[in-house]
Amino acid sequence: MAAERGLAAEACVGQVVLPGDLLLLPASYGEDTEGERLRLSTGAAPAGRLLCGPGLRRSGAGLLVTKCGLLRHRPAGGGAFWVDSQQKRYVPVKGDHVIGIVTAKAGDVFKLDVGGSEPASLSYLAFEGATKRNRPNVQVGDLIYGQFLVANKDMEPEMVCIDSSGKSSGMGIIGQDGFLFKVSLGLIRKLLAPKSEIIQELSQLYPFELVLGMNGRIWVKAKTVQQTLIIVNILEACEYMTAEQRRQALPKFSGN
């Protein structure tokens, strides 16, 4: 619609935006880049750099929306705008923690299926305490929880199971048993939010182990198979249930 060209970005926060909408930024974001003025007084805070997140592209004086979803804004640290969209297909992003399935061993490198367009590669030395003599025991079909070291559109994604200091911090081969299933990316982000209600309510039911991958994969393990399947069904249904319906459904399962 013609009216959607050139709306102020701040006015659209929390609303649905569609591809093709042009969001105008307030003039203060462009000020510092225009003239190279020296700031003599340290009183005024520097404007900082605006972060243009997923779903947005810079276009002239504004931001062009490329995905449909809700526009979000974070004013801290220079400001960031992004579009919160619902998607099923994962696109690898550097730094994301994901669950991969080992599909092949090619020499010194494992090939993992992460749900993207290409299999990711994982070197056998990228595990904590791994050396050429002490190789990790990884078989085809194993589940690995790791993070992306390299992930861009031009190169094959690479994963590692150690962080920058060489510690595994929870990453590595996921143990035996348990159940792996796939949900949409929006639900994963909801579950990963700090103090997620769903996780808190589920932990009241019975103890279980949970691994959440940003690629939409969840691994659950509880004491018995039945408890595991109940948690799986609740998590899958959380996509469509509102908070009220969930609170009504959960007490029925606490008996098992």
Residue of 16, 61, 140, 243 that binds another protein (CB under 8 A): 16
Q: Is 109 in the site for another protein (CB under 8 A)?
A: no
Q: Is 247 in the site for another protein (CB under 8 A)?
A: no
Give the amino acid at 19. P
Q: Is 5 in the site for another protein (CB under 8 A)?
A: yes
Shortest Å distance, C-beta 13 to another protein: 14
Provide the 8-state DSSP code for 13: T
User: Is the distance from CB of 93 to CB of 129 less than 8 angstroms?
Assistant: no
Residue of 69, 136, 146, 157 that binds another protein (CB under 8 A): 69
User: Is the distance from CB of 173 to CB of 143 less than 8 angstroms?
Assistant: yes
CA–CA dist 85, 70 (Å, integer): 7
The helix or strand, by DSSP H or E, that contains position 225, with its residue range, turns out to be: helix 225-237
Residue of 29, 32, 67, 180 that binds another protein (CB under 8 A): 67
Provide the 8-state DSSP code for 50: P
CA–CA dist 165, 83 (Å, integer): 32
Task: Single out the segment in contact with another protein by CB under 8 A; choices: 32-40, 72-80, 81-89, 160-168.
Answer: 81-89
Residue of 68, 93, 101, 130 that binds another protein (CB under 8 A): 68
Shortest Å distance, C-beta 1 to another protein: 6
CA–CA dist 148, 130 (Å, integer): 18
Q: Both tokens of residue 234?
A: 């609740």
Q: Is 40 in the site for another protein (CB under 8 A)?
A: no
Q: Is 154 in the site for another protein (CB under 8 A)?
A: yes
User: Is the distance from CB of 183 to CB of 219 less than 8 angstroms?
Assistant: no
Where on the chain is the footprint of another protein (CB under 8 A)? 1-2, 5, 16, 18-20, 55, 57, 64, 66-70, 84-89, 91, 117-118, 153-154, 186, 242
